Amino acid sequence: MDYRDGRQSEGFAWAHYAGYRWSDNSDSERLLLIFGPRAVEIEGHNLGVLVTEIRDGQLNSTRELSSGQQMLLRQSNPDNQPIIAAVRSYPDMESILREIKGEDDDDQSRHARRVQR
């Protein structure tokens, strides 16, 4: 999963894949993927293409598109590409980093937890 700013990328192991839920309101679609204790939420249009790739075991990556790219694909999309407006992961990377470092939300210390031997 690549974010549009190019400064963040996350990977999810398909060995932990548990399932998906795809919903469609009139203005956008939402695809929720579960990977063990984590979830990925994708918002956009034409997400059925991603569902097909998941079922076929062919989805390798997703990428958020800039607003300009989204607009161009909404106007003309002959290849029926998915239009990915937003991608979010839960828990997010900052939460995972705080847990790894041993920081609590109420604890203001910024030091890593010592490993006990």
pLDDT in tens, the chain (117 residues): 777 777 777 778 888 999 999 999 878 999 999 999 999 999 999 999 999 999 888 888 888 999 999 999 999 999 999 999 999 999 988 898 999 999 875 555 555 555 555
Residue from 74, 61, 69, 88 nearest 27 by CA: 74
pLDDT, position 106: 55
Q: Which residues pair with 40 in a beta bridge?
A: 33, 89
pTM: 0.77
CA angle 40, 32, 98 (to 5 degrees): 30
pLDDT, position 61: 84
Whether 9 contacts 2, CB under 8 Å: yes
pLDDT, position 115: 56
pLDDT, position 81: 94
Whether 29 contacts 23, CB under 8 Å: yes
Domain assignments of the chain as residue spans, ordered by start: 14-101
Q: Around Cβ 83, how many Cβ atoms within 10 Å? A: 21
Whether 55 contacts 94, CB under 8 Å: no
Q: Helix (H, G, I), strand (E, B), or coil: what is residue 64? A: coil
Backbone angles phi, psi at 15, to 5 degrees: -65, -20
